[in-house]
Structure 1
Amino acid sequence: MSYNRIGVVTGANKGVGLAIVRQLALQYPKSPLNNGSFLIYLTARDQGRGEAAVKALEQDAQLKSAKALKADGGLSEIKFHALDITDSGSIKTFADQLKQTHGDGVDFVINNAGIAMEGSNAQVVKTTLGCNYYSTLEACHAFIPLLKSTGRIVNLASMSGHLNKYSDEVRNRFLASKTEDDVTSIMKDFASAVEAGREKEAGFPSAAYAVSKAGMIGGTRALARSEKEKGSSLLINSCCPGYVNTDMTKGNGTKSPDEGAQTPVMLAIQDIKGHTGLFWQNEKQLEW
């Protein structure tokens, strides 16, 4: 079957990712991008958990009441596909499948997959930057050729990536960064400083997750700039879902997952006036 719109959500078997899939199905009928049938790929590393998440959404009371899903006469269909963004082979397999199945292109990708680990030693930094920064950008580069000319990428970052935690020198490096290589050099310097036990002296917070998300904001901005310079009309933005009550916040969040899903969903399927390369929270642009 062919679909008029196709979206991908990574890391979507629980928490904010799962809520994003639910909200996409709920909000699509009133979206200015609604032009018929809508396929949402719910992706996750674990096949069992991913398939269980799809089944749960198919029985979701809110979706049934709204008649959002195709099985109930609605526009949206949700399918699971395995994707581990930390595995280059997994990214390639999924990208190849999308290319083969959807020759006309994909409308958007919401990169929600990410990790938060305890501590901030060199191994934690390597693993956290590896997933939240390097692997997310690798996934972006794999998906960009598959997007329609009007396609969008939404990268989930965090307010913890705000630049008020850095020395003036590091902050200015982030703000002056124009390319992914510029941002990557800051990530490398952070990893080296942690390894030497000197991250504070080097102007960084002792927080792998926060630095990875600052990298994500900077990397997204650089990617958007690069695409714009090529004449592309893709819209590429990053956003913070807010302090959401999920496993990642150990249940301490103040927002529900559905509330956290609002900004990424807006950036994927609402009219954002052509904005690209920006950082958003609470459906508004934020200063980085």
Structure 2
Amino acid sequence: MAYGRVGVVTGANKGIGLAIVRQLALQYPKSHLHNGPFLIYLTARDQGRGETALKNLNEDSQLKQAKALKSDGGESEIKYHQLDITDLKSVQTFAEYLKQTHGDGIDFVINNAGIALNGFDANVVKTTLGCNYYNTMEACHTFLPLLKPTGRLINVASVSGHLNKYSDEVRQRFLSAKTERDITAIMQDFQSAVEAGKEKEAGFPSAAYAVSKAGLIGATKALARAEKEKGSQISINALCPGWVNTDMTKGKGTKTPDEGAQTPVMLALSDIKGATGEFWQNERPIEW
């Protein structure tokens, strides 16, 4: 079947990721990108959980009432595909599948997959940076060539990555960073400082998740700048979905997953006037 639009959501078997897939299907008919049949790839590391999520969406009462899905006469179709962003082979296998299946390119990728671990030590920092920073940016570089010329790359970050937690020196390093390599150097310095037990003296908070998301925001901005300098029209943005009630917030969030999905879905489907390199919350750019 030929699709007018194709999108990918990572880490989509639960929480915000699952809500993003739902909202994409619901909002597509009235969206700026509306152009015939729409295929959404719901990706997840665990096949069983991914397929269960897909089954639940196909039985979702709101989607049925809206006649959003192809099975109910709508335009959207959701397919599960295995993807573990911490496994380079998994990322490459999925990218190759997309390349072969959608030769004209895909319209957007929403990188939602991420982790938030309990505790704070060198191992927690290494694992958290590995997934939320290094693996996410590796996925960005792998998926970027698959996007259409006006495609969109959207990274789900967090306001915990705001720069008010750092010394003036470290904050200035983030703000003056021109390349992804500059941001990676900050991540490496944080990791080294943690291993030495001196992250606070080095100007960092004792918070693996927060620093990983600051890195993701900075690297997203740097990647957007690099693409723009090449003359690319691909839109690359980071966002905070808000304090969402999910497993990651241990049920303490104030937003529903559907509310948290609004900004990433807007960045995927709305006319954002070519905006790139921004950090968004509540459907608008905010200060980093």
**Separation in 2 of the partners of 1:235 and 1:182?**
21
Counterpart in 2 of 1:91?
91
Counterpart in 2 of 1:102?
102
Counterpart in 1 of 2:252?
252
**Separation in 1 of the partners of 2:119 and 2:5?**
41
**Separation in 2 of the partners of 1:42 and 1:59?**
15
Counterpart in 2 of 1:181?
181
Offset of residue 76 of structure 1: 0.2
**Separation in 2 of the partners of 1:177 and 1:268?**
26
Offset of residue 2 of structure 1: 1.5
Offset of residue 119 of structure 1: 1.3
Q: Give the root-mean-square deviation of aligned CA atoms.
A: 0.4
Deviation string, structure 1 residues 242-278 (Cα, Å, up to 9, x no partner): 0000000000000000000000000001011110000
**Separation in 1 of the partners of 2:97 and 2:32?**
28
Counterpart in 2 of 1:157?
157
Counterpart in 2 of 1:131?
131
Alignment of structure 1 residues 40-119 onto 2, 5 Å = 40-119=40-119
**Separation in 2 of the partners of 1:144 and 1:217?**
17
Offset of residue 20 of structure 1: 0.1
Offset of residue 120 of structure 1: 1.6
What TM-score does the superposition give when structure 1 sets the normalisation length? 1.00
Counterpart in 1 of 2:28?
28
SS of 1:247's equivalent?
A: coil
SS of 2:271's equivalent?
A: coil
Alignment of structure 1 residues 134-149 onto 2, 5 Å = 134-149=134-149
Amino acid at match of 2:84: D
Residues 1:282 and 2:277 aligned together: no
**Separation in 1 of the partners of 2:182 and 2:278?**
17
Deviation string, structure 1 residues 87-134 (Cα, Å, up to 9, x no partner): 000000000000000000000000000000011200000000000000
Deviation string, structure 1 residues 6-38 (Cα, Å, up to 9, x no partner): 000000000000000000000000001101000
Amino acid at match of 2:49: R
**Separation in 2 of the partners of 1:37 and 1:150?**
18
**Separation in 2 of the partners of 1:119 and 1:177?**
29
Amino acid at match of 1:232: S
Instruction: Determine what percentage of the aligned residue pairs are the same residue.
Output: 77
**Separation in 1 of the partners of 2:66 and 2:219?**
37
SS of 1:35's equivalent?
A: coil
**Separation in 2 of the partners of 1:172 and 1:256?**
35
**Separation in 2 of the partners of 1:190 and 1:119?**
16
4+ residue runs of structure 1 moved beyond 4 angstroms?
none
SS of 1:248's equivalent?
A: coil
Deviation string, structure 1 residues 36-80 (Cα, Å, up to 9, x no partner): 000000000000000110010000000000000000010100000
SS of 1:249's equivalent?
A: coil
Amino acid at match of 2:2: S
Structure 1 unaligned residues grouped into runs of 5+: none
**Separation in 1 of the partners of 2:279 and 2:32?**
22
Offset of residue 158 of structure 1: 0.2
**Separation in 2 of the partners of 1:162 and 1:204?**
12
SS of 2:248's equivalent?
A: helix
Give the number of equivalent residue pairs: 288
Residues 1:7 and 2:7 aligned together: yes
